[in-house]
Structure 1
Amino acid sequence: MKTFKIIEKSKILFVISLAIMITGLAFFIKNGINYGIDFKGGTLVQINMKKDFNKQDVENIITKYANDYTTNTAVNEKNETQLEIRSNSLDESEIQPLFKDIKDKYKLEDKDLISQQTIGPAVGQELRQKAMLAFVLANIAMLIYVAIRFEFKFGVAAILAIVHDILITVSVYAIFQIPINSSFIAAILTIAGYSINDTIVIFDRIRENTKKMRRVNSKELANISITQTMSRSINTTLTTLITIVSVYIFVPSVREFAFPLAIGIACGAYSSIFIASPVWVMLKNRKIKEA
C-alpha cells in the first residue's frame, strides 16, 4: 500500500485552516455574530397551512417582510401541516400583510393564523455561560481520558483538533451571517464528541504501530497510520454526512441543528487526519530535540 505523505504537507494545511479562521474573524469584527431569535428575542408567527406546501414559495413571501428568519413545520393531531415563522426583524405591523399574502396564495381563512406574539430571548446569558462551561469541562475530561489511554501529547493534539473544528464552524456562520440559535449549542457539543472519536481511531493505530515499528521515526509512523485508517475515516464520515444531509433536506424542523453538525463532522474528519496527527508529530519531535 502506498503511504500518503500527509505530515510533509501539514504546513500548507495549517495555512488553509488559518486562512478560514482569519476570514471568519474579519467578518466577526465587521459584522459580528448573527444571533437568532433564541438569543435576541423577536416575533413568532404560527400559521395552519392545512396541507403540504412549497417551502420556497412561502419563504419568497416572507423575504418581502423579514431579512432574517427561520421556518419550521409540524403536523397537528388532525394531520394538518402548520408553519412556524421566527424572525428578529419582523415588525408586528407587518404580520397581517404577510399572512394575507400567504392566505391568498394557499386559500386559507383568517382563523388559520393560529398565533402571533413577541417573545423574549430563550437563551440567556446564564445558559450561554453554562454551555461554555460544559464545553470546557468536556474538553478537560477528554484530555484526561486520552492522556491516560495514550499519552499527554495525544490529548493536547486531540483538543487542538476539536478547537479547530469549532472555530471553523463559527467562522462559516460569521462569514455567511447564518443565525445562531439554541440548536447551535447542542450541535457544537455533538461535534466535539464526534471529532474526538475520529481522532482516537488514528491515535490508536499510531500506538499499535509504535510497538511494531520501533525504528520508524514519528513522521513516517504517523503517515503509515493515517494511510491505514484513512479509508475507514472517509467512509464513516461520508455515511454520516449522507444521513445528516438527508435529514437537513427532508426534515426542515431540525435544519438549525443539522447544518452546523454537517460542517463540524466534515471538519472533524479533516482535523483528525490533517491537524491532530501533524500536531502530535510536532510535539513528539520537540520532545526528542529537547532530550
Structure 2
Amino acid sequence: MKARFDIVKRKWWFFGLSLAITVAGLVIFALFGFNLGTDFKAGSRVQLQLNEPVNVGKVRSMLNDIGLSVGEGSITVAGTRGDIAVIRFPTTLSQAQIAKIGAEEKKDFPKSTGDTVDTVDPIVARQTSQKAVWAVLLASLFIVVYMAIRFEYRFAVSGIIALLHDAFIVMAVFAILRLEVDLTFVAAILTIVGYSINDTIVIFDRIRENMNVAKPRSRGELERLVDKSLWQTMSRSINTVVTVLIAAVMLYFFGGQSIHNFTFALIVGLVSGAYSSIFIASPIWVTWRSRKLPKSKPAESVE
C-alpha cells in the first residue's frame, strides 16, 4: 500500500485525540466512578424469567409491595424476547427477602418460571477487584519483558504505553456511557491487550527489518523509514481488524444480553488497538529513538 500521508509527522494530532478521549473518561470517572456490577461491589443480582414482555414499572411496583425499593436504572431488560428482568440491589438480600420476591413474582407474573439470585459480600467483591487489577498488571509486565528481550527496551515501553492507551480508552467509553463493569469486562480487556500487542509486534518487526537493510543516520531518515514500515503493514493491520470486528459485531447483535457489554468492549478495544498499533506505538518509539540522531531537512512522503 502506498503512503498517502506522513503518519509520524502528524503524531501530535493522534496523541491529542487519544488524550482528549482519555481525559474525558477520567473526568467522568472522578465525578461518578464506574458503574460496577455485583462482581466488584457488595450486593445482590436477581434475574426473573417472566416469559412475557418485561414491564419495568410493574416489576418496580412488585418490589415496593414487599418493601424493597431500587433506584432508577437498577431494573434492566434482558433476553432475546425481552422477557427477563434483571434487578440489582446495593445490599445483600436475606433468604426471607429472596423468598418474598419468589412468592410475589408468582402472583404478579403467572407465566414466570422462577428466579436466579447472585449475591456478593463485601470481602469477595474487594478480592475480585484486586485480582482483576493484578491480572491486567501481570499480563502487561510479562509483555514488557518479552518485548524487551525480543526487541529493545524502547520498543517494550512504547508497546506497553499503547496497551495502556487501549485499556484507558475502553474504560473511558464505559465510564462516559455508564455501562456496567463486571468480570466479562476484565476478560475483554485481557483479550484486547493480547490482540493489540500482536499487531504492534508485527509493525515493530517490519521496522527492525528495514533498519537492518538501511540504517537511518538522521531523524528525517528514521521518520521516513517508520512511515514506510507502517504503510507496508497497513493492509495487514486493516484486514485483520476488519475480520475480527465482523465476528465481534455479530456476537454483539446475536450473542445475547449476557455478553452484550463484553462484545461492546471488544469492539471498542479492537478499533482502539488497531489505532494505537499504527498511530501511537510507533510514533512514540520514533520520537524517543530519534533523540540520538541529528536533525535533517523535511522530506516528501515515502512511496
Give TM-score scaled by structure 2 length: 0.78
1:220-250, CA deviations, whole angstroms, 9 ceiling, x for partnerless residues? 1110011011111111101101101111111
In the alignment, which residue of structure 2 is the partner of 1:78?
none
In the alignment, which residue of structure 1 is the partner of 2:242?
238
RMSD over aligned Cα, in angstroms?
3.3
Q: 1: CA distance between counterparts of 2:162 and 2:142?
A: 15
In the alignment, which residue of structure 1 is the partner of 2:298?
none
1:128-170, CA deviations, whole angstroms, 9 ceiling, x for partnerless residues? 2222222222212111111111111111110000000011111
Q: 2: CA distance between counterparts of 1:98 and 1:255?
A: 29
Q: Tell me the SS of whatever aligns to 1:38.
A: coil
Question: How many percent identity over aligned positions?
Answer: 40
In the alignment, which residue of structure 1 is the partner of 2:73?
67
Q: 2: CA distance between counterparts of 1:25 and 1:192?
A: 20
- Specify which structure has the higher proportion of helix: 1
Give aligned pairs, total. 274
Amino acid of the structure 2 residue aligned with 1:261: L
In the alignment, which residue of structure 2 is the partner of 1:12?
13
CA contact (8 A) 2:50 2:113 kept: no
In the alignment, which residue of structure 1 is the partner of 2:65?
none
1:182-220, CA deviations, whole angstroms, 9 ceiling, x for partnerless residues? 111111111111110010111111111112232472211
CA contact (8 A) 2:192 2:273 kept: yes
In the alignment, which residue of structure 1 is the partner of 2:130?
129
Moved over 6 A (4+): 57-65, 89-94
Amino acid of the structure 1 residue aligned with 2:238: I
Shift of 1:44: 3.2
CA contact (8 A) 1:40 1:120 kept: yes
CA contact (8 A) 1:36 1:88 kept: no
CA contact (8 A) 1:42 1:86 kept: no
Long gaps (5+) in structure 1:
75-80
Q: 1: CA distance between counterparts of 2:154 and 2:118?
A: 50
Q: Tell me the SS of whatever aligns to 1:124.
A: helix
Q: Tell me the SS of whatever aligns to 2:6.
A: coil
Long gaps (5+) in structure 2:
62-69, 295-303
Alignment of 1:211-290 (within 5 A): 211-215=212-216, 217-252=221-256, 253-288=258-293
Give TM-score scaled by structure 1 length: 0.81
